[in-house]
Amino acid sequence: MIRFFIYFLILFSNQFTCQSIDTIDQKKFTKRSTILSCIVPGLGQFQNNQIRPENVKNRLWWKLPIIYAGIGSTTFLVNFNNQEFRKIKEERVSRNQGNAAHNYPLYSIDQLKIIQEDYRRLRDLSLISFIGVYVLQIIDANVEAHLFLFDISDHLGFKLKPTFLMENETNYFTTQISFNIKF
């Protein structure tokens, strides 16, 4: 009898779990896409492409090379400008200690200071550009996830209709604008 009761419970519990609603929760979908894009650049766009509705024909894979080109180029620029900044800084420190010029014999100490400040500025701008590209791809994944679930069916409507009415008592025309929104 107990075995029959256990089989009976398992049988009905499986049917209840199989009856889930097949809709995507917009907040959960958007949040997941944003978090994935924060963890790995471009993963939010990839997730949006994998779970996109069937009526959406937009392919999002073309954004991944742009994202990685932006992140890769800004990473290269940050690294290059930082290396040049350090080389010139070491040269200036070496010359201030009384050593001979090694890497940049054509420049004076004052010129090296100006060049060092230029590389510092370029490094900082490259770092800001890196952060900008990273934040833009996160925003793009978030906005794209929101737009996937936006209703673009034919049942939406907007109608603006002006009409002119003549009043019998005053014999004047009256204008009227009707504004209809159909969901």
Backbone angles phi, psi at 180, to 5 degrees: -120, 130
Dihedral-angle region of residue 127 (phi above 0 means left; psi in -120 to 50 means alpha; beta otherwise): alpha
Q: What is the pLDDT of residue 29?
A: 83
Mean of the per-residue pLDDT values of the chain? 81
In one letter, which amino acid is 80? F
DSSP state of 100: P
pLDDT band at 1, cuts 50/70/90?
A: low
What's the CA angle centered on 136, arms 130 and 140, to 5 degrees? 150
Predicted TM-score (pTM) of the model is 0.67
pLDDT computed for residue 114 by the predictor? 95
What SS3 state is found at 93? helix
